Chains A and B, each alone.
Chain A
Amino acid sequence: MTRLEEFYEILKDPAAYGRKLKGEGRRKIVGYFCSYTPEEIIYAAGAHHFRLFGTGEAVHLADAHFQAYCCSLVRGALEGALAGHLGFLDGAVFPHTCDSIQRLSDVWRMNVKGPFHLDVVLPVKLDTDSAKAYMSDVLHKFRSDLESRLNITIGKEAMQDAIRVFNRIRGYLGRLYEIKAEHPGTISGSDLHTIIKASMIMSRDRLLEILPDIVTDLEKKKGQGDKPSGKRLVMTGGICNHPDIYRIIEEAGGVVVGDDFCTGSRYFEGITEIKDDPVAAIAERYMIRPPCPAKHAGLFTRAGHLVDIVREKRAQGVVFFFLKFCDPHAFDYPYLKASLDREEIPSIMVEVEDQLPSEGQLRTRFETFIEML
């Protein structure tokens, strides 16, 4: 199996991978939502954190708990749990972001039997001193909660080691993105997406074994035999669960050279400093990381960041990629679009439920858009 195949294999059936890890019995397995989960703390606790995405299967069981106007990520995640696919989890962590995740946490706690359930109620503001102090308080509390649930103590060294591990992982993922932006033909969009997404699920020790080789290989490969690459695009939204979108864009004559996604650069951007209080250092990264729209970090921060990515990646257009019923992203759309318009950056908006719209229809829309660039 090539290294890439290993990533694809994991994403094909994440639950099977979870069960396998569990079978190895080395680490407790903690499910998590959202890129504001303090993964360093979970890792330092000797546990493995396993990102939960929607199952992609048709939703039946979750229908008894959530209305149809709830986003497919939340409905799909609950479906997976109720269908018993996630029996390998030793616990689940819910950082507070949007109204839907907030209620998912409640309904999960009330209906999914699992050894533990932790809420991490982050501040909604990221731009005041009191919010920063509170962010640090909440993460400290998470650490002690985790200690008591797992019956261990998490030492300072373990925390600092974990921070190093994740800084390295983020460094490699960031490098992959740079290579993609420099020489888009070096790696396909769906391969890159698969690596990023699988890296939120797979054993982080294993991940650190293969990432350096992947980066080295691509460094060698880059520049050689570049396929004629298409018009440079940046994608933005919440999470992207649809690797096919990259292929469709490429076939329509585009290439994604950067993003503002939680299954993309929001996941790995920002380095955590090694400090005397490692937990406070993690809190600091959250305060400066590119924000999720469910958080407030100034009135123009997200637009500024998006325009910066477009400039930095020398992109010609932007694809907004939204999940239907996702309020925080939908609210930001008009202002983000207006900011792009002011800079004369063309954009297109695609909204998906749990499945992509028909491929033909998508292809035509992308072709028209890309032609216009």
Chain B
Amino acid sequence: MAEKKTESMNLVQEIFLYFLAGIRRTLLRFKKRKKIKEILTVYYMEAKSARISGRKVAWITSGGPVEPLIAMDVIPVYPENHGAMIGASKMGTDLCETSESMGYSTDLCSYARSDIACATVNGGPIGGLPRPDMLVCCNNICGTVLKWYEVQARYFNVPLFIFDTPFCHTGFSEEVRRYVRRQLDEYVLFLEEACGKKMDHERLSNVGKLSLEAQRLWQAVLDTTVNRPAPMSAFDAFYHLALIVTLRETREAVDYYSRLLERMNDRVARGIGAIPDEKHRLLWDNIPIWHRTRWLSEKFASHNACLVADTYTSAWCGSMKYIDENNFFDSMAEAYTRIYLNIGVDEMARMVLAMVDKYNVDGIVMHSNRSCKPYSLGQYDIAKIVEKERGIPSLIIEADMVDERSFSESQVATRIDAFMEMIKAMRQ
């Protein structure tokens, strides 16, 4: 009985959300300077009222092939983006504790832990994610997502598609290409079955074009920080990133980033920097410490240091070079396999070196993120390579992107101060 009641309450809520989403979308259409928050709100409202609009919802990993979902009218939802929101709203520690009481170890990825907990209590900043009709897990970022999506597939009892992108220690082989390419066909079949209709390949190729356009624009936005002073910082990029993660294949994202690019170019032309007096330029490595982004940004600004670039936000456009615009579908195999985290530490180091040169940085700030082993294990070697090749020092900050319990503000502050003193001394 109680269950029935909540069920009908949910339905009322969803109908309400559905109409509200419609109104807000219309209003948004007339607005010239849309804010990311407004766009995301409409997106989540639509996703949460998907049952009313008759659309399906798929949960997908951040690096997963989303374009086929869009071409099938499925609403993609990103638990990792949700994890970032949980972290930024400082609700992570509570949810992590809930997952621990469910038997999950504190050493596991905190995106996974908070999402697994959130699904059972509908907590977090947006009251939980909409229930999935299917799960799409691509392991190009880590092995954690495989385990996490298995947990959710058991919990929600929905079909799980695993898009397996073998790790590229030293290169990309023909066997891998064949295997991943075959899985693209399996993926389409999976979606056709789940949605009860055929894939429209022309539509898919158009979605692919839009996605590529958004990625190009995003890279162009990030590129504006080669200027001195940088018109925006990595902390701004963490904020603007949300659309490239969740809505990269939409006209909205393309419009948003076009305007953002104009704005940044304008700031460059007028010599306006992200911080008042940019003296030192730094590179950020790893996922943001979501619960401390403002604090960190202010802390570095107090030393006149601007984090001008990062390895994280550029990961969403790092494998653009493998995309063939005229054969989007086939080229997805390579593009989705050779992304930043799915390559060897030495290749990652080469990419970091290239960023050091491109953005002309004086130092690297590495977030040693106990949640994320594929991103963090190997950082020490990257730091050593950069030090050796370019004479540039690194600061390692021990933390966790969501779980605040692994963060000691005073300790980190002391280390940042010492590091900045060193950078200042080096420049004299």
Contact = CB atoms under 8 A, between A and B. Distances in A.
Interface residues on B, range: 35 or more
A67 B368 contact: yes
A295 to B, nearest CB: 8
B60 to A, nearest CB: 16
Interface stretch (B166-174, B273-281, B290-298): B166-174
A106 B169 contact: yes
B105 A335 contact: no
A327 interface: yes
A139 B178 CA distance: 15
Contact of A130 (B170, B182, B378): B182
Contact of B380 (A66, A69, A97): A66
Interface of A: 64-67, 69-70, 96-100, 102-107, 109-111, 119, 121-125, 128, 130-131, 133-134, 137-138, 141, 293-294, 296, 299-300, 324-325, 327-328, 330-335, 337, 351
B143 A327 contact: yes
A331 B148 contact: yes
Nearest to A295: B146
A241 B112 CA distance: 29
11 contacts: A67-B370, A67-B379, A69-B107, A99-B374, A100-B373, A124-B166, A130-B186, A133-B178, A294-B146, A327-B143, A330-B105
A333 B175 contact: no
Given A102-B167, A130-B182, A134-B179, A65 B381 contact: yes
A125 B160 CA distance: 12
B105 A98 contact: no
Given A67-B370, A134-B179, A331-B104, A299 B162 contact: no
Given A96-B167, A102-B167, A124-B143, A331 B108 contact: yes
Contacts of B178: 133-134, 137
Contacts of A124: 139, 143, 146, 162, 164, 166
Contacts of A111: 381
Contacts of B154: 299-300, 335
B146 A296 contact: yes
Given A121-B169, A137-B178, A106 B378 contact: yes
Interface of B: 102-105, 107-109, 112, 139, 142-144, 146-148, 150-151, 153-154, 160, 162, 164, 166-170, 173, 175-176, 178-179, 182-183, 186, 344-346, 368, 370, 373-374, 376-381, 398
Given A106-B378, A327-B144, A327-B373, A299 B176 contact: no
Contacts of A125: 162, 164
Nearest to B173: A141
Contacts of A102: 143, 167, 169, 374
Nearest to B370: A69
B345 A103 contact: yes
A351 to B, nearest CB: 8
A327 B376 contact: no
Contacts of B104: 330-331, 333-334
Contact of B179 (A98, A107, A131): A131
Contacts of A133: 178-179, 182
Max chain A Cβ within 10 angstroms of own Cβ: one of B146, B373, B378: B373
Contacts of A69: 107, 370, 373, 376
Nearest to B141: A99
A87 to B, nearest CB: 21
The 8 closest A-B pairs by CB, nearest first: A331-B147, A334-B103, A103-B377, A134-B179, A106-B345, A137-B175, A330-B105, A130-B182
A99 B103 contact: no
Nearest to B348: A106
B103 A110 contact: no
A107 B374 CA distance: 12
A67 B102 contact: no
Contacts of A122: 166
Given A66-B380, A324-B107, A106 B344 contact: yes
Nearest to B185: A130
B380 A109 contact: no
B287 to A, nearest CB: 14
A264 B27 CA distance: 64
Given A98-B143, A130-B179, 18 more contacts: A67-B380, A67-B398, A69-B107, A97-B143, A99-B377, A102-B169, A103-B378, A106-B345, A107-B381, A121-B167, A123-B166, A123-B179, A137-B175, A294-B143, A330-B108, A331-B104, A331-B148, A331-B150
Contacts of A106: 169, 344-346, 378, 381
A110 B380 contact: no
A328 B103 CA distance: 14
B377 A66 contact: yes
A346 to B, nearest CB: 15
A111 B224 CA distance: 36
A104 B169 CA distance: 11
A308 B368 CA distance: 41
